[in-house]
Amino acid sequence: MTNAEIAARLEQVADLLEFQGANPFRIRAYRNGARTIQDLPEPVEAILEDPARRLTEVKGIGKDLAEKIADLVSTGTTAILDELLAEIPETVLALLRVPGLGPKRAAVLHRELGINTLDQLRQACQSGQVRQMKGFGAKTEASILENLEIAEEAGKRTYWAIADEIVEALKAHFVDCPAVKRIEPAGSYRRGRDTVGDLDLLALAEDAEAVMDHFARFSSISQVLLRGGTKMSVRLGIGLQVDLRVVPAESFGAALQYFTGSQAHNVVLRGMAKARGLKINEYGVFRGEARIAGEEEADVYAVLDLPLFPPELREARREFEWAAAGSLPELVRLEDLRGDLHAHSTWSDGMATIEEMAAAARQRGLAYLAMTDHSKRVAMAGGLDADQLLRQWEEVDAINRRLKGFRVLKGVEVDILEGGGLDLPDEVLAQGDWIVASVHYGQNQSRERITRRVVEAIENPCVCAIAHPTGRLLNQRKAYEIDLEAVFRAAADNRKMLELNAHPKRLDLDDVACAAARNYGVPVVIATDAHNIDGLGTLRYGILQARRGGLTRNDVANSRPWPELRKMIGKK
């Protein structure tokens, strides 16, 4: 069982407990456990198989939770999950994905109206039943209807980070299959989309039966959906569908190009081929009946005098235009980044000290790390007031005096208040190195109001960048209404930056907005928003999103050493 599957089961337990109205501390323990396992840089199975190690050595995993995780790995389930599922229909969990509904209200709808599915919820809203329930009303009913689409989409798409873990597990599984000479993922996963609907795998092999027999033994499979001569489709325990195709050597490159997509990219490619009297499909490039390319992906493009496009760019946006002009961008890479500019410590809601976070960042090859704990408005996260922040910065100064070749930046994630202005006084913020401003409250305000709040923050001389600028949470919450064009203009005018938050549930800015920022000349900062040392590893997800936006090293501010970056900031 992969870490992603273990985390999903723990989240399921937490959801079911919350639906029942269980003790909040008990619920939080499962949610924290899920986050810890999801962020773990090595498989849980590897720890459990090592007699010299204990799962309880992982920070945040106690004895009780460790036992339940061990049960999940060995049996695929655990007693508490079985008990909860016996009491509550599993379909009810979909109700908890509706933004703004919440477990208590979902429980009322389930208990009073017998609602178990999203379809039943939609019907109850459309018939006006929900508004008649105590504590709901017409406004809540309308909000539920508006957000149903998010809940439905969340049930269909998987975070790229989780899909990535499954891809790595599948690759490891096929290492022991001698029939497979090469195996590659394709589809939206390979293009780096923030979520994926299913996984496509291509295997280079002559014995398709042997490959599919081996695939069938993958431990995470819950159901075989289809098995044909060269294709096999399965569903995993977390609900994700995986399609495996066995392809001969002479067609492997063409199949990889075709099944990577996107559909729009392939339509343009086929049109270009047709104009030359050629035909392109998953079997190769053909002139008449003769195959003239197909073994390697680069050959498919070369026939049309095209470069091998990075998969992240294959969306039929500007890649063909760039190729025609000979200006295909050299996309930013993980190794280009010199620092991380958004991280939390135990001073607010982080799980590691400043020194621990700095040591972990340094171990990852970074040269600087901005500590940006929350400001006081985010009280539930232990946000800092002015005195606390200044004391923290004194600690940072002391740490920097001990460090050689690494710098901790004095920073804060200061809240942009609902009524405008910032959560901390300018005379305090002016003493920091790196100030990021963000919206956490008032996200339902009008487009005009939220835009004005963010633009005012950009115009504040103390602010360096705006964190997670649209507030979206993938599969959970839409971006709030904001005029990004106005934000880009303000950032360009004031020499400020915008963050690409690399957390796999945010990836905010999205790829289209990253491309727009580049067009406006606004530097993008790729930052983790890490709350523990393992969270620093999410930079790679941000890099993927930046590449989809066509960003180069020069477009990403923290690809520069701190002294150079500091000169770029329009902070007074």
- pLDDT string in tens for the chain (572-residue length): 788 889 888 988 988 888 888 888 889 889 888 888 887 878 898 899 888 889 998 888 889 999 999 999 888 889 999 898 888 877 787 888 888 787 788 888 988 999 988 899 999 999 999 999 888 988 888 888 888 888 887 677 899 999 999 999 999 999 999 999 999 999 999 999 999 999 999 999 999 999 999 999 998 898 999 999 999 999 998 889 999 999 999 999 999 999 999 999 999 999 999 999 999 999 999 999 999 999 999 999 999 999 999 999 999 999 999 999 999 999 999 999 999 999 999 999 998 999 999 999 999 999 999 999 999 999 988 999 999 999 999 999 999 999 999 999 999 999 999 999 999 999 999 999 999 999 999 999 999 999 999 999 999 999 999 999 999 999 888 899 999 999 999 999 999 999 999 999 999 999 999 999 999 999 999 999 999 999 999 999 999 999 999 999 999 999 999 999 999 987 66
SS3 477: strand
Q: CB pairs under 8 A, 24+ apart, for 133-138?
A: 133/108, 133/109, 135/105, 135/108, 136/105
Contact 415, 377 (CB under 8 A): yes
What per-residue confidence (pLDDT) applies to 572? 61
Q: Residue 52: which residues within 8 A CB-CB, separation 6 or more?
A: none
312: Cα within 13 Å, side-chain hemisphere: 25
Beta bridge partners of 498: 466, 524
- Rounded to whole angstroms, the Cα distance separating 228 from 245 reads 10
What per-residue confidence (pLDDT) applies to 571? 64
What per-residue confidence (pLDDT) applies to 76? 83
Closest alpha carbon to 248 in 284, 300, 292: 284
User: Is-above-0.75 flag for pTM?
Assistant: yes
What per-residue confidence (pLDDT) applies to 88? 84
Closest alpha carbon to 244 in 262, 254, 259: 259
Torsion of CA 374, 161, 148, 442, to 10 degrees: 10
Residue 153's Cα: distance from chain center in Å? 15
Structure tokens at 527: 């930052």
User: What phi, psi does 381 have (nearest 5°)?
Assistant: -100, 10
17: Cα within 13 Å, side-chain hemisphere: 18
353: exposed, middle or buried (C-beta count within 10 Å: 0-12, 13-18, 19+)? middle
User: What phi, psi does 44 have (nearest 5°)?
Assistant: -60, -40
Closest alpha carbon to 505 in 534, 531, 469, 538: 538
Contact 460, 493 (CB under 8 A): no
What per-residue confidence (pLDDT) applies to 98? 85
Number of CB atoms found within 10 A of residue 512's CB = 13
Q: Which domains does the chain have, with CATH numbers?
A: 3-154 (1.10.150.110), 158-247 (3.30.460.10), 259-325 (3.30.210.10), 334-568 (3.20.20.140)
Number of CB atoms found within 10 A of residue 386's CB = 16
Torsion of CA 89, 91, 96, 97, to 10 degrees: 170
- Rounded to whole angstroms, the Cα distance separating 407 from 416 reads 27
- Rounded to whole angstroms, the Cα distance separating 453 from 483 reads 11
